[in-house]
Structure 1
Amino acid sequence: MMFWYGHPGGGWGWIAMSIGMILFWALVITALVLLFRTLSRPHEHAHAPAPPTPPAPTPEQILAERFARSEIDEEEYQRRLSVLRSLGPRTPPAA
């Protein structure tokens, strides 16, 4: 059988052309699915507020934590606590 311009149409040409067409449409469908999924996904990072940062612990809280971890004994805890309380509340330095 003769086809275009006198070239014979072999079986391998039809197989290669069929596989090429299947791969082409698979690529097009995959690209469309990925594009749809990307556009339909909510953008959480763009509008989500930053989580609040916890307040810095006070010197008394740090001292209590050290006492709770047994880093200091009760006598040292009481002594340092009395020193902290005698100094009064301090304002944090301006950043």
Structure 2
Amino acid sequence: MITALATTAAVAHPWGFGGGPWFLLVLIPLFWIAVFAILFATVGRRWRRNAWAWRSGAFAAEQPGRRAEATLAERFAQGDIDEVEYRARLEVIRANNPTPPSFPGR
């Protein structure tokens, strides 16, 4: 009788889990793989974006000389100053605030 029950249980559940939550053995690793993939994607994307911005010079605008040049360029674009005055002031700004050498390929 016990042999017949064991045989029936083995036929009904070939892996021998006895009808328990066998699907959790698959879902739990898939869940953690998905969590790590999402974390890697978001953190890696932010890191790559910041590294690219640094290489392209986006953070150079935070330097005082770059901010002065940007303000001067805005005033020239708005028509507050003419080209002669723009060139003269730009020369003064660059003479007083030498910029570090830019990255190769820029």
TM-score (norm 2): 0.33
Q: Which protein is richer in helix relative to its size?
A: 2
Larger Rg: 1
TM-score (norm 1): 0.36
